[in-house]
Structure 1
Amino acid sequence: MKNFPKYFFLFWIFGFSLFAYWQINDPDPEIWVTIYAVAILFSAMAARGKHPLIPLSIAIVTCVIGAVYFFPDSVREWIGFEIQNKDLSMKTQESEEARETFGLLIIASVLSYSAFIGWKKRNQ
């Protein structure tokens, strides 16, 4: 269990790299590739045992604000749309924004775990 955080963050380095790659053909790749690159950077630092609390906190709050901004009007409708079409290509702006929302929430969750580890280390 001692190495779990390291492998957790290594997994997310790979995951965020894939997410960044998939954003290359997006209408605004410079924004989203940069966001995922920052998540990769923080995950790499966390895999090495470094958890800078202030930068992590800023990134987490920024991701949550972005997720609230992009949050779709109806998550149920979006999920139904995705299941019905069985196609992950971007069909509507709403589906793209919903995916971006969940990407930001994933980043915020992963970085929150890193911040929690850093906070725990600092208070020991």
Structure 2
Amino acid sequence: MMKIFNVFFCVMFVLFAALQWNDPDPYIWIPIYLYGAVFCGLAATRRYYRGWYLFGILAFLSYATFLFFEKDGVLSWVTEHQAQNIAGSMKASTPWIEDTREFFGLFILIIAMLVNFVHSSQKKAKKMRKRMMKIG
């Protein structure tokens, strides 16, 4: 199940990164999405890096919080622009649409990193219990 989850998100994050070429700030978003792709790809091969998941979660959460409260951010999209359709066109014609899309991209990344962090933590705990059983 985890392999399918991680292969899916690895492919999705590579596609998301590729779509950033026409973005106003591809130098930020291509590395962000490739970060997710790399660590989901590694997890698909049962290589987990809890510290890097945690780093990604904290970094993406910090940036998402900024985008949420920014002047033309998600909060503005909801309160001042009545949650205008953000998927109507591929081109983000307003800053609140761009920031809201970026926020949700980070949200997806955070979820993927969090699932892998929790899964790897459970695997580590299970391994520790086995070692303790051998010792005891």
Same fold (TM over 0.5): yes
Helix, strand or coil at the partner of 1:23: helix
Which deviations, in whole Å up to 9, do the C-alpha atoms of 1:5-37 show, x marking residues without a partner? 001110011111111111110111011000011
Higher relative contact order (CA 8 A, sep 6+): 1
**CA-atom RMSD, angstroms?**
1.7
The runs of 5 or more residues in structure 1 that have no matched partner are none
User: 1:40 aligned to 2:43?
Assistant: no
Residue of structure 2 in register with 1:94 after alignment? 96
Counterpart CA distance in 2 for 1:110 and 1:79 is 29
Cα distance, 1:44 vs structure 2: 0.5
TM-score (norm 1): 0.89
TM-score (norm 2): 0.81
Runs of 4+ displaced beyond 6 Å: none
Aligned match of 2:18 in 17, 21, 30? 21
Mark the structure with the bigger radius of gyration: 2
**1:88/1:82 Cα in 2 relative to 1: closer, same or farther (>3 Å)?**
farther
Residue of structure 2 in register with 1:70 after alignment? 67
Cα distance, 1:87 vs structure 2: 2.1
- How many residues are treated as equivalent by the alignment? 120
The runs of 5 or more residues in structure 2 that have no matched partner are 69-73, 127-136
Residue of structure 2 in register with 1:109 after alignment? 111
Identity %: 28
> Is the CA contact 2:10–2:37 (under 8 Å) kept in the aligned structure 1?
yes
